[in-house]
Amino acid sequence: MKKKIIIIEVLGMTCASCALSNETALEKVKGISKANVNFATKKAVIEFDKEILSEQAVMEVVIENGYRVAGFNEDIKKGEYRMDEVEKSKKTFLFSAIFSAPLLLKMFFEPEIGTVFLDLDLVSWLELIFAAIVVFYFGARFHRVAFLQAKKMQTNMDTLISMGTLVAFFYSVWAIFNGKVVYFETSAIIITLILLGKYFEEKSLGAASSAMKKLLELGSRKAQLLLNGEEESVSIERVRVDDVLLVRPGEKIPLDGKVIYGRSSVNESMLTGESLPVDKKIGSNVFGATLNEDGILKIKVTEIGEGTALAQIIKTVEEAQGSKAPIQKMVDKVAGVFVPSVLVISLLTFVGWLFATADFSLAIINAVAVLVIACPCALGLATPTAIMVGTGRGAKNGILFKTSESFERAKNISMVIFDKTGTLTKGTPRVEKIVANPENGFERKKILKIAGSVAANSTHPLSRAVKEGAKQKNITLQSLQEVKEESGMGVTGFCDTHKKQLMLGNIKLLEKHKVDTVWAKTILEDDNLSQGTKLFVVHNGLVVGLIIVADEIRAQSKKAVAKLAAKGLKIVMISGDNEKTAQAVAKQLGIKTVLGGILPSGKSKEVEKFQAQGEKVVFVGDGINDAPSLAQADLGIAMGGATDIAKETGQIILMQDNLEKVVEAIELSQITFKTIKENLFWAFFYNIVAIPLAIAGILSPMIAAAAMSFSSFSVVINSLRIYRK
């Protein structure tokens, strides 16, 4: 067996039971070993034997089941969500409502037209026309899916909607000719309310981001291939493992590889989330889509295609997104039992009344009443209305909820894990502290002037931070000659005025130029100093001072951490920085649990470890490397300035880089999910009470329709309470 996994986008699903129906249909097919259909994301992850089935054959199973397939794999990665689906749902509901409105008015006001056509009330004929348009045109998709399900001896919510509306409609047609009460408004209003729920749902899901497409675009499409001493520009698809590529300063590294020539600083922030570049030399590993900053590199390609770090992140995210939350599985099971149960109850009601009274009309009326009153309008509106209000309130306050799963995942959370760089901190280095060497008597302002003058000749992020620090102090910088940037160490040059050599860099730079390092080594071991990158300042062969460059903590970070801790939540910080730096930042924020020196690939594993211990984890991050963790966590929150893939993966996006919004997002998630549970409770409670009444013949289809409408109205009203909570 040659296993293959594809991800397809399924359109036309109206409820959780639709997802279950597709799973059942897929898993019955020989050659398909596993199928997972997620109603919230509209995606199906299917594992099959490619020796037995093709991708097209797999998609045909879904199509034959009554649903549409938008595309698979590469098409899905483009993230091209069809906004026309939202607009189509809106228009369908509005036109259905227009044609249903006269029926609704007639139900409440019973106009006496008094006109008779062929001995029949003209009003009834007009009702038939309006109802027929709504039921058979605007409600066509429900009947189509129900028919296809019936052919496979299966049922879902569409079955109940279809049967309830069709029985009510055709009974009403019969009633016209037999002088009985008609129930055209019942069939039309059921369709219209369900369409309203569908529109709410489509709108709440929103437009799926094109982040997957943007993520793929991060990588270079071209590479400079070195072949037989000649340089050739080729497409990335032509590159093979062991090929040698030339990467100039300012260019993206096309693929994963190993440095075989040169030294440089490489900005890996798009993968690691860390703002500071990483020094690369011969033997160092480099990754596709990262940026070569200041040196020429020759790299030997080690991974192409799906083997690259970027591709692996995409794969991890896709697999995590394709998984299904436990609560969704529970809903699927309930949905799978609810529909056939109602159908059986309706049939038994018909048989029971027919046997007891021998009155076909009374039996059919009571059976229709059961179908109508059990029609899942309230159930259909319970979740999307709460989501619509919750997302509306969130958007107003700068919080974007992407799917209903966001609210489910907020349940019973116990831990919040923060990424450090770009999340708790701004992700931009700045001068944190200046330390003067007392042996040489230089003031801190003079030290900063020397450092700024040297840094002005470099584009390195650390140099830019030092230069900006001098600028903020209004220090006039000195021009330099013979400036030399020494990769991985620092910058040297000679002062134009005094012809003295100036240096700015790490201890390796000092050792290379045989500068006395006694004080430098002593200061490096001082644990009382602020943690950050330490840059030594040299004037004419003497170490005159030290400049510490560190990432700036966001203004709201400490307050947000305190609020979350006050809620009884465990707070954890995770970072790729060394342990000392991470601990120093955590101490300022009041975070006790710190995981430092964690590789990009290890963050999601740490989240998984906490989950294995029983923790319900919220992960807050911003970088591409955070995407697997955002997907792995029970609830993922992406910062406003996050990378597109982080926003794609996170269930919640903060439109502002304000960490206090994390607290608000969690609170709103919990409130909304609580409201959803309340709505579902009342929807089920309504059925538990109303169905027996319909069975007993106490409720006519007319009253049942009114009760059904009221149940839907009550769900909407309860959802609107979210605005006031």
- The pair phi, psi for residue 70, each rounded to 5°, is -85, -30
Residues 6+ positions from 203 with CB-CB distance below 8 Å:
86, 89, 90, 388
Residue 180 CB neighbours (<10 A): 14
Place of tokens 């009510």: 168
Residues 6+ positions from 205 with CB-CB distance below 8 Å:
40, 42, 402, 403, 404
- Active-site position among 419, 622, 626, 644: 419
Residue 19: closest CA among 144, 135, 200, 154: 154
Distance CA 343, CA 376 (A): 13
Stated length of the chain: 725
Distance CA 198, CA 86 (A): 9
Strand pairing partners for 436? 545
Place of tokens 């003079």: 446
Distance CA 393, CA 714 (A): 20
Nearest-10 crossing angle of helices 16-27, 157-177:
110
Q: Respond yes or no: is residue 419 known to be catalytic.
A: yes
What is the 3-state secondary structure of 185-205?
HHHHHHHHHHHHHHHHHHHHH
Residue 208 CB neighbours (<10 A): 20
Nearest-10 crossing angle of helices 660-695, 360-373:
170
Residue 567 CB neighbours (<10 A): 11
Residue 209 CB neighbours (<10 A): 17
Distance CA 199, CA 23 (A): 24
| Residue 407 to residues 74, 283, 683, 714, 721, Cα–Cα distance (Å) | 29, 47, 19, 21, 16
Distance CA 13, CA 393 (A): 26
Residues known to be catalytic: 419
